[in-house]
Amino acid sequence: MDTNAMKIAVLGTGIMGTPITRNLLRAGFDVRVWNRTAGKAEPLAAEGAHLASTPAEAAAGADIVLTMLADGQAVADVMTGEQGALSVLSAEAVWIQMSTVGVPWARRLADLAEGHVGYVDAPVSGSSLPAERGELLVLASGDRALGERVRPVLEAVGRRTVWLDRAGDGSRLKLVLNNWLAVLVEGMAETVDLSTALGLDPDLVADTIGSTALQSPYAVDKAHAMVKGDFTPGFPLRHARKDAALALQAADDQDIAVPLTEALLRRWSRAVALGHGDDDVSSAITAGTPVRAAESADGVPVRAAESADAVPVRATESADAVPVGAAEPADSAPVRATEPVAARVR
């Protein structure tokens, strides 16, 4: 397919949408962009993108519309209404939905597209650096008949595409991968804290981990960032927290326990409340505060604030009693009330 003849509308030019747009321009696509904060899209004009004042203006005449926004509600808002992209797209157009929105919103957005345009659920795995390099992992799902039409776009932004047949499975896989990464980051934050408390050089500990079969280059990089206090955003903490909350919601809907995710969400809410929401996810380490250990009946030390019979955390508050609404924008997913782990194992 001639990429020069394909018109693409990119809605959302933030930390991920901007490098995605640049790669599409380098591949020769005719790209129109829209962003809620117009100033963030302006630098792309110098690189060949056409700026639009509304989603509808960006999508008019487009073969493909690509959404990369903060959450499901934001995506629905730009696609619907008089100035929404769906109001002008032809039936032959394809909507590639790359935002991380969770399972319920993935269904709702597919329903919005039904009968209007082709729809590919295609969130991506990778932060801003892989996005800049065009090395994202694309997690596509839906009608394989659309695969050939969107292939040049996906190849321009990613190193590999995993295609799943069931619509919405791309979003499900993204939740699982991001939740694994969240637990990995929180585990490394704990490792850095423990290393420091024991008088070890945490950089040496991270490098030692990196030299073994246990290594994860991502986790080791985050450890060094934590030690340096370099929280230049690759994946903002507030977005990582939102994704972890979406994973917790999905687990709850399936009636399974994810106690590690519950625990890290309390800490990450604290880090966001301390002003690190726009910093990299590695800033999760800032939530660490000394807590005197208590002993359980069998002599095993437990954190005084997190014993098995701990008082449940209200859904509207973080563990340190900072209201979640005050810590994050209103469009962030709330932390579900935390129950004792034993109560959730069925």
CB distance 273 to 290 below 8 Å: no
CB distance 335 to 324 below 8 Å: yes
- Is residue 253 packed enough to be buried (19+ CB in 10 Å), middle (13-18) or exposed (0-12)? exposed
Which among 320, 346, 319, 327 has a CA at the least distance from the CA of 336?
A: 319
Q: List beta partners, residue 30.
A: 7
Within a 13 Å sphere around the CA of 64, how many CA atoms are in the beta-carbon half?
26
pTM: 0.82
pLDDT in tens, 33-66: 999 999 999 999 999 999 999 999 999 999 999 9
pLDDT in tens, 155-177: 999 999 999 999 999 999 999 99
C-alpha distance from residue 100 to each of 103, 291, 339 (Å):
9, 34, 26
Q: For residues 200 and 77, what is the distance between their CA atoms, to the nearest angstrom? A: 50
pLDDT in tens, 109-155: 999 999 999 999 999 999 999 999 999 999 999 999 999 999 999 99
Helix (H, G, I), strand (E, B) or coil at 279: coil
In terms of pLDDT, which residue wins out, 319 or 176?
176
Tell me 292's DSSP state: -
pLDDT in tens, 227-251: 999 999 999 999 999 999 999 999 9
Helix (H, G, I), strand (E, B) or coil at 220: helix
Q: Residue 5 has what pLDDT?
A: 83
Tell me 333's DSSP state: P
Q: For residues 265 and 272, what is the distance between their CA atoms, to the nearest angstrom? A: 10
Q: Which pair of tokens denotes residue 107? A: 């269904």
**Residue 180 one-letter amino acid:** W
Q: What would the DSSP string read from start to end of 124-166? A: EE--HHHHHHT-EEEEEES-GGGHHHHHHHHHHHEEEEEEESS
Residue % of the chain over a pLDDT of 90: 81
pLDDT in tens, 77-90: 999 999 999 999 99
Supply the Cα-derived Rg of the chain in whole angstroms.
Answer: 21
Q: Residue 121 has what pLDDT?
A: 98
Q: Residue 215 has what pLDDT?
A: 86
Q: What does the mean pLDDT of the chain come to?
A: 87
Q: Which pair of tokens denotes residue 56? A: 């509808």
Which among 315, 309, 263 has a CA at the least distance from the CA of 287?
A: 263
Q: Residue 295 has what pLDDT?
A: 47
Helix (H, G, I), strand (E, B) or coil at 251: helix
Q: Residue 298 has what pLDDT?
A: 53
Tell me 62's DSSP state: -
Q: List beta partners, residue 127.
A: none
pLDDT in tens, 119-129: 999 999 999 99
Q: Give 202's contacts (C-beta < 8 A, 6+ positions apart).
A: 191, 192, 195, 196, 223, 226, 227
Q: List beta partners, residue 163.
A: 140
- Is residue 102 packed enough to be buried (19+ CB in 10 Å), middle (13-18) or exposed (0-12)? buried
